[in-house]
Every structure is written in C-alpha cells, then in structure tokens.
Amino acid sequence: MDDDLDTPGKRLRFARERAGFKTAKDAARKAEIGEVSWRAYENDQHGYSKKATAIARVLGVSVEWLLDGGPIIEPDIPAAPPPDMNTSLSAAQIELVRRVDITYAMGDGTVIEDYPETDFLPFSLNFLRQFARGPTDRLFIASGHGESMEPTLRRDDLVMIDASQNRVAFQDHIWALTYCGAGMIKRLRRVSGGRLLIHSDNPAVPPQEADEEDVYVVGKVVWIARMM
C-alpha cells in the first residue's frame, strides 16, 4: 500500500475515501477549501502544506502522514472530559487561527516585511462564524501599537483580521491596510473622486486622504482582545 501512496496527492485521495467522502467536492466543502484547489491537491498539481492541518482534522489522519508518508498515523484522540464538565464543549468543532509576528501600527504605520507565523490560537467554529464570512484559514491575528485608534483599540490589543473581506463595502469600518509601504489599522470612508479617507478614532490624529489605488486593504478587523 505504501508504494501506491508515494505522493501527497495520492495520500490525500486515499484518506478522503477512507473518511467516507465519495467526492472531492464533499471533502472540500467540509474543510472549507475550494473544490478546484482540492482536486489540484489530489492530482499533485499543487502542494497543500498550508492547508494540511485543516485537511488532516477533517479526514482523521495526521499532518505528518499526509505530507511525508509512511505508516498511517492516527491523530491523537483527547481523553474524555470528566462527567461534571459541560459535554457540549467537547462536541464543539475547534478551529486554529494563526497568529503572525507582524505589528500593524495604530499611529503613523509600520513597514510590513513578511507574515511569519508564530503560533495558533484555538477558537470555536460557531464563535468564528458569527463574524467570519469566508474560509477560516483566511483569518489571522496580529497586534497593534500606537494611540491613534483609542479608545476603540489600545496599544498591544490583539486584532483578528478577515482577509477574505478586502473590499471597502462599508463606510467607517475598521480595516488593516497598507499605504505608502506602511501597515496600519484605520477606519476607511469612500469620498468623491475615487479616493479614500483614512481616519482615526483619536480626534487628535488628523485624517489622510488617498487615491483608492494606492491603498491595499489587507482585511477587515472583525474581533479584538485586550488584557485587563
């Protein structure tokens, strides 16, 4: 069997059928991955290392086996909770949202070089679905510095950004964006002439007006967390 499963795509197809998904479409929908992308993974046209965690969770195999092969390694099964725990928690589907080592300034901005992952934070899928419109792997968590968005956002607040929402369809909502090579978290408002008003919640910080084509919207800020 190992000779027949010598590529990530062959292992993916095997694991999908083993998990009871008759079609790639069914598995892709469960994992919140595009059907075309899933088929490309199974055909070894594209690698899927960045999606491997979500795929392995849906198919009931380990990430290591999917990517590297060898004997099938079953994922660790957590121990059952004590009888007095709320059993509904154990049944909740958990999604891991990546936290990246990047700081969006809430002041004058900071240059964005890369998006290196640092770790993952667990969230209930039902909780994420309250505000995440697209696939959950398009969510990421970063932190902010500066005082321009106070009192809404404070220094070192954690912000969850939905990168699937990157079109300014709502006036005065909060967005993660880059402008002139600098990253920042600001409110955006469309104004006449194809321009955007970049403004802060702190009244002491003056707004900026920019051509829309010069502003790259990374995603919409959909959730914040704060240490008390």
Backbone φ and ψ for 78, nearest 5 degrees, come out as: -65, 150
Residue 108 · residue 133 · CB < 8 Å = no
Task: Specify the DSSP class assigned to residue 74.
Answer: P
Phi-psi region of 20 (alpha: psi -120 to 50; beta: other; left: phi over 0): left
By residue count, the chain amounts to 228
- pTM to 2 decimal places: 0.58
> What are the pLDDT digits (tens) for 151-184?
998 888 899 999 888 888 889 999 998 888 788 8
Given a cut of 60, whether residue 2 has pLDDT beyond it is no
Residues 6+ apart with CB under 8 A from 149: 106, 174, 185, 186, 200, 201, 202
For 115-134, give one letter per residue: b (16+ CB within 10 A) or e.
eeeeeeeebeeeebeeebee
- Sorted by where each starts, the structural domains of the chain and their CATH numbers stand as 2-68 (1.10.260.40), 94-225 (2.10.109.10)
pLDDT score of 48 more than 80: yes
Query: Is the CB of residue 35 less than 8 Å from the CB of residue 25?
Result: yes
